[in-house]
Each structure stands twice: as C-alpha cells, then as structure tokens.
C-alpha cells in the first residue's frame, strides 16, 4: 500500500504533538532542575506554575502533559509506519482528554488565578489543534464506516 | 507507507527515537545552563545593611519586600544566620521590581527609614512577615507607619526619612549595583562573591554555605 488515508492529518498531528511535547517537557525539566523560586519580570508564569493547580497528586501537570503529547506522537507515528488504523483512532480519542484538560487549565488561569503563563497558553494551542485533527479523524472514520 | 521495507521502518523509528533523545537532552542543557552573568558583586560598603560576623564568608541578597519568593526565603536566611551567624556575614540589598510590585520601593524606603533609627532588621522582618497584609494595599505607607509606631520609632522622623533623598539614593544605588552584578530576578544570592542558583529549600542552602565555609 503506497498511500494511507489521513496521511496529511497524521503528519500534522505528529508535528503538533511534538511541539506540545517540547513545550511541556521544557516546563517539566524546569520544574525538576531549574533554579528555586524567583520573582522575575514575567509575573504570570511564576504565579501559574507554582500554584496549587500546577500539580496533581504531587506530579507536576507539565510532566503529565509531556507524557500525553509523546503518547499521541507515538500512536500517530505507529499508524504512519504500520497503517494500523486503530492506533490513529486511539490517538484521536486521546486528544479529547487533552482538550478537556486544556479547557480546565484555561478556566483556572482566567478565573481562579487570574494570571496567564505563556507556556501554558502555547500548550492550550497545540492541544486544541490536536483535538481538531483528532475529531476530524473520528468524524471521517465514522462516515466511512456508515457510508 | 514507511513499512514498505523492514529497514525503512527501522530507520523511521531510529530517527524518531534519536529526535526525542536529542530534544530532551537539549532541553535539559537549556534549563541548566546559567545564562545570566555571574557578578562580580560589589564589595560591602559603609552604607550596606549587614548582620553576622564581619570579615568572613559573605552572603549578599538582592531582594524585593513585595516579592513572594523573597518572603519564602526570609525564614531560610533567618535560620541560616542562627546556625552560621558566627561565621557568615549577611548583606541585604534592595532590588524592588517596581514594574510588577507597586509597593516594593516604598517598602524599601520604609526599611531604610527604620534603619536610620537603628531598627532596619526589625522592619525588614515585619515587612516580610506581614507581606500579605500590605502588598495589595494602595495605602501601604500608612501600614508602614503603623509598623514603625509598633517598633517604637519616632514617627515624624520616620516619615521624613522615608521621603528623603538619601534613602532614595541608597535604594537606587543598590539597584544599580545589582544590575551590574547581573541581577534579573529576586531573590538573587551571591555567596562568596558569586551568584548562586537559588537553592530549593533549606537543606540545599545550608549545604551550599557549609561547603563554602570549608573551602
């Protein structure tokens, strides 16, 4: 088979999930290895990344995000390599979870903390793009099965 | 697609693994590389606020009274001086981040004004301990006057000194010296003349100091 369906979408998801991985990993590494607390000139980032909402059961959210993005990345990469549709579908369902978390964190930043962190907003963007792509895959796949 | 050939597939995966590994490595390097200049920090001068043993290991802090991070280091430094006050000299220098902390400069003036009446460190302590009370207030100076009264200071002299050119100059001089030494965030600590990465807790701080003392 020389061509698989959803090829463009898959490459798009591969690139975007990698960008999300870069962003989340940077925050996660900074959390574990970066220097201790400071008040820099960018108030938002510190406030958000040191808030109580930046951890879930002691695990920094950035690490969870990093794991999420790299998982999506690998599922999509596996699809591109093997053509197994189930892998792409799984990745697409995962983007729903990612998007839901994005909405939650946007809500926290906007209404609870009233502070925004630019890295978190970047992740919101990649997560949303992945969701749009994933939803597109699920929608088209459903139509193909019915049609 | 890529699994036309088994080796094509292997190369695809090898490339991906390599990409991930290089990326994570690059990020770790980026985060741990200290990109801000490291000093040298200005020597202790007559006008500096210091405590502890003179002529020994020097710990300088550039700090902002309205900065929450600085408030969280306040008890650490205090404990450090309890343990090492006989062998370490601590220097406090002002570095108010006025763009994000509107009451910071005023708090710095208040501390210096209290210092003119011999109570710099007492006011310094109160400012950090009560940080949440005065930080967001537009009438913060009124609270500072209350603290001054509570410390038994001459209120009229305190108010006058808070507005004085001399106090403003000292704070500005501190900021200038901080900028020269590469201060870009607060708190910034200089141990034995060199900027240190802010320790992530008391244990790390203590380890840094005791290691510097044993040199």
Q: What is the pLDDT of residues B99-152, one digit of tens each?
A: 889 999 999 999 999 999 999 999 999 999 999 999 999 999 999 999 999 999
Q: How far apart are CA B11 and CA A26, in angstroms?
A: 27
- Do the chains contact at A26 and B31, CB–CB below 8 Å? yes
Q: Which residues of B5-18 are buried (b: 16+ CB within 10 A; e: fewer)?
A: eeeeeeebeeebee
Phi, psi angle pair for B105, to nearest 5°: -65, -45
Facing A35 at nearest CB: one of B72, B100, B197: B197
Facing A83 at nearest CB: one of B1, B68, B204: B1
Length of chain A (residues): 147
Mean pLDDT of B194-215: 91
Which CATH number do you get for residue A53?
A: 1.20.1440.130
The three-point CA angle A30-A32-A33 to 5° equals 65
Q: Which residues of A touch B35 (CB under 8 A)?
A: none
Residue A63 lies in a domain: yes
Alpha helix ranges (H) inside B135-201: 140-150, 155-163, 165-180
Residue A52 lies in a domain: yes
Residue A1 lies in a domain: no
The three-point CA angle A82-A84-A85 to 5° equals 140
A60: three-class secondary structure by DSSP: strand
Q: What is the pLDDT of residues B66-90, one digit of tens each?
A: 999 999 999 999 999 999 999 999 9
Q: How far apart are CA B94 and CA B36, in angstroms?
A: 19
CA distance to partner chain B, nearest, from residue A81 (Å): 5
**Residue A60: domain span:** 7-146
- Do the chains contact at B31 and A4, CB–CB below 8 Å? no
Q: How far apart are CA B53 and CA B75, in angstroms?
A: 19
- Do the chains contact at A77 and B12, CB–CB below 8 Å? yes
- Do the chains contact at A37 and B197, CB–CB below 8 Å? no
Q: What is the pLDDT of residues B165-185, one digit of tens each?
A: 999 999 999 999 999 998 988
The three-point CA angle B50-B54-B57 to 5° equals 90
Helices A118-146 + A7-33 axis angle, to 10 = 150
User: Do A16 and A122 contact (CB within 8 A), yes or no?
Assistant: no
Q: Which two tokens stand for residue A58?
A: 């002691």
Residue A94 lies in a domain: yes
- Do the chains contact at A40 and B185, CB–CB below 8 Å? yes
Residue A51 lies in a domain: yes
- Do the chains contact at B1 and A1, CB–CB below 8 Å? yes
Say which residue the tokens 């950035």 belong to.
Answer: A62
Q: Model pTM?
A: 0.71
Residue A31 lies in a domain: yes
At residue A44, does pLDDT exceed 90? Answer: no
Q: Nearest-CA residue of chain B relative to A82?
A: B3
Q: Which two tokens stand for residue A24?
A: 């989340």
Total structural domains in chain A?
1
Facing A25 at nearest CB: one of B12, B24, B69: B24
Beta strand residue intervals within B64-201, DSSP E: 88-94, 188-191, 194-196
B63: three-class secondary structure by DSSP: strand
Residue A2 lies in a domain: no
Mean pLDDT of B18-22: 94
Q: Which residues of B touch A22 (CB under 8 A)?
A: 23, 27
* Mean pLDDT (chain B, rounded): 91
B136: three-class secondary structure by DSSP: coil
């Amino acid at each position: 088979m020389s061509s698989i369906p959803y090829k463009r979408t898959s490459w798009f998801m591969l690139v975007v999930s990698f960008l999300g991985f870069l962003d989340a990993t940077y925050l996660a590494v900074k959390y574990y290895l970066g220097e201790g607390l400071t008040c820099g000139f960018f108030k938002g980032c510190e406030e958000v990344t040191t808030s109580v909402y930046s951890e879930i059961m002691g695990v920094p959210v950035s690490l969870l995000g990093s794991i999420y993005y790299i998982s999506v990345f690998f599922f999509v990469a596996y699809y591109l390599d093997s053509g197994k549709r189930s892998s792409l579908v799984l990745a697409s369902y995962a983007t729903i979870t990612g998007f839901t978390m994005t909405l939650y964190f946007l809500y926290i930043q906007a209404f609870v903390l009233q502070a925004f962190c630019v890295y978190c907003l970047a992740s919101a963007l990649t997560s949303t793009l992945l969701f749009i792509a994933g939803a597109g895959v699920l929608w088209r796949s459903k139509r193909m099965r019915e049609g | 697609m890529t699994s036309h050939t088994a080796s094509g597939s292997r190369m695809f995966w090898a490339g991906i693994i390599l990409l991930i590994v290089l990326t994570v490595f690059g990020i770790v390097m980026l985060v741990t590389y200290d990109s801000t200049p490291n000093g040298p920090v200005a020597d202790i001068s007559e006008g500096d606020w210091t405590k502890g043993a003179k002529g020994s290991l020097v710990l300088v802090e550039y700090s902002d009274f309205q900065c929450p991070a600085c408030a969280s280091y306040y008890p650490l430094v205090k404990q450090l001086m309890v343990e090492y006050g006989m062998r370490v000299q601590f220097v406090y220098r002002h570095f108010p981040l006025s763009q994000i902390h509107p009451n910071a400069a005023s708090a710095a003036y208040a501390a210096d004004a209290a210092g003119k009446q011999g109570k710099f460190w007492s006011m310094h302590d109160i400012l950090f301990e009560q940080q949440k009370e005065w930080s967001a207030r537009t009438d913060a100076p009124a609270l500072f006057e209350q603290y001054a009264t509570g410390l038994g200071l001459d209120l009229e002299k305190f108010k006058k000194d808070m507005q004085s050119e001399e106090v403003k100059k000292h704070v500005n001089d501190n900021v200038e010296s901080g900028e020269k030494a590469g201060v870009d965030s607060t708190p910034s600590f200089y141990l034995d003349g060199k900027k240190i990465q802010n320790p992530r807790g008391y244990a790390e701080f203590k380890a840094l100091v005791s290691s510097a003392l044993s040199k």
